[in-house]
Amino acid sequence: MVRLKVKDMEFNYASVHVLKDIRIELAASEMLSVIGPNGAGKSTLLRCIDRILSPQKGCILLDGQDIKKMSRMELAKKMGYIPQSATQVFPATVFDVVLMGRRPHIGWRSGEEDTEKVLETLQMLNIEDLSMRDINELSGGQQQKVFIACALTQEPDVLLLDEPTSNLDIRHQLEVMDIIKNIVREKKISAIMAIHDLNLAARYADRIIMMNSGKIFSVGDPVSVLTPDNIKKVYGVEAEVIDKRGRPHIVPIRAVSKK
């Protein structure tokens, strides 16, 4: 059952083609990783799906509904987005930042139910001890967890994550990926994650989309997408691919020309 469908999406920015011929299908409880070199269009793709940017062409269907016809609030109830960098946030406690995730569901007053949901996500991400701290005092990794908690509090059907592990040490990387994997499975959420680390993508994703210059180069399960040939063509890197417990593990060797 297809939850999210992206059809023939195209996005231009000041007459520069950023995305072209984008076609994606995402099922419930599926984790999709989008990989590709810098400038391939991964972030733009996520932003177009969540209507932060408006694609010039194409349509996006969420559970059969065209998202262009939904109001922003309605879309926010179904889709959560975690942007890449930690922009400077106005002073706020962690609790209040996570509470922001309830905004699509509440008008003005936050009720008991909303507080409970916040507490639940705080616990899920293991950041309860940080609840009353100011978010700007936290490390990059901790902030990232807070923003993930905020998106989860929206209770979305689809979660879009832009490089969620870039600022994290190896422990936090695994922690965060495990949390997301669990949520995808237990809450039947679908996730699209733009990610740089090929090995994390290989290890956690159900399917991978490899992008190159704004187009989808290859799509499929990790083994079929992460081949030395593809990696050479898209990244210009000669790499060795080892099988580790049924998942590919990429060992880069050297940079080469893309031919």
Partner 1 sequence: MTSSTETSGTGTKRAEIKEQYKKFIGRKILFILFSLILIFIIAGISATLGSYPITVIEVYSILWHGVPKIVQNTAFIISHGFKEFFDTFFTTEEIVVWNLRLPRILMGILAGIGLAIAGTMMQGILRNPLASPFTLGISSGAGFGAALAIILGTGFVAGEYLVVGNAFIFALIPTFIILGLARYKRATPETMILGGIALFYIFSGLMALLMFFSEAEPAIEAYFWMIGSLGRASWDNLLPASIVLVGCVIPLMWKAWDINVMGAGDERAKSLGVNVERTRIFIMIIASLLTAGIICFTGCIGFIGLVAPHMCRMVIGGDNRFLIPAAGLFGGALLLGADTIARTIIPGVILPVGLVTYILGGTLFFYLLARRRREYW
Dist CA 128 CA 69 (whole Å): 38
89 part of the interface to partner 1, by CB under 8 A: yes
175 part of the interface to partner 1, by CB under 8 A: no
Comparing CB distances to partner 1, the nearer of 71 and 257 is 71
Tokens linked to 254: 């050297």
76 part of the interface to partner 1, by CB under 8 A: yes
CB 203 within 8 A of CB 195: no
What are the strands of the beta sheet with 57-62, ordered from one edge?
16-27, 2-13, 57-62, 65-66
Comparing CB distances to partner 1, the nearer of 55 and 104 is 104
Residue type, position 149, single letter:
A
230 Cβ contact partners less than 8 Å away, ≥ 6 residues apart? 210, 217, 218
Distance of CA 231 to the CA centre of its chain: 21
CB of 240 to partner 1, least distance (A): 38
Comparing CB distances to partner 1, the nearer of 150 and 231 is 150
Per DSSP, the three-state class of 12 is strand
What's the distance, Cα to Cα, between the start and end of the chain in Å?
39
Positions in 105-134 near partner 1 (CB under 8 A): 106, 108, 115, 119, 122-123, 128, 131-132, 134
Span from 12-20, 148-156, 163-171, 201-209 in contact with partner 1 (CB under 8 A)? 148-156
Span from 95-103, 166-174, 203-211, 220-228 in contact with partner 1 (CB under 8 A)? 95-103
The residues that touch partner 1, with contacts defined as CB under 8 A, are 47, 50-52, 71-77, 79-81, 83, 87-93, 95-97, 100-101, 103-104, 106, 108, 115, 119, 122-123, 128, 131-132, 134, 136-137, 147, 150-151, 154
